[in-house]
Amino acid sequence: MSVRRVKQWCEVSVSDNGPGLQGLDPKEIFNPGVSSKGSSSVHGYGLSAVAWAVNYWKGEYGVDAIESDSGCRFWVRIPLFEK
């Protein structure tokens, strides 16, 4: 996990070394109900909740594949407000 300032943004990113996106479309994984897990007990709403909150705060979000099968980097950027 890392936190840094990028111009007028606060960027928080989380990286892992898991199986990667496993054929999922990076543009779709923030939609409700999308999950990389095959289990019926996983509903795929965590990333959509993140997307909703970031949109509410007028920020940006995304995912970068580190390698095709070797992890991902999820990031959010929230605008900083000057006093």
Q: What is the pLDDT along the chain (83 residues), one digit of tens a residue?
A: 999 999 999 999 999 888 877 778 878 888 887 776 665 556 778 889 999 999 999 999 999 876 666 788 999 999 998 77
- CATH number where 20 lies: 3.30.565.10
* Residue 35 belongs to domain spanning: 2-79
Overall number of domains in the chain = 1
Rounded CA gap, 5 and 11, in Å? 6
Predicted confidence at residue 66, as pLDDT, reads 65
Distance CA 18, CA 66 (A): 10
44: amino acid identity, one letter? G
- For 19-80, the three-class secondary structure string (H helix, E strand, C coil) is CCCCCCCCCCCCCCCCCCCCCCCCCCCHHHHHHHHHHHCCCEEEEEECCCCCCEEEEEEEEC
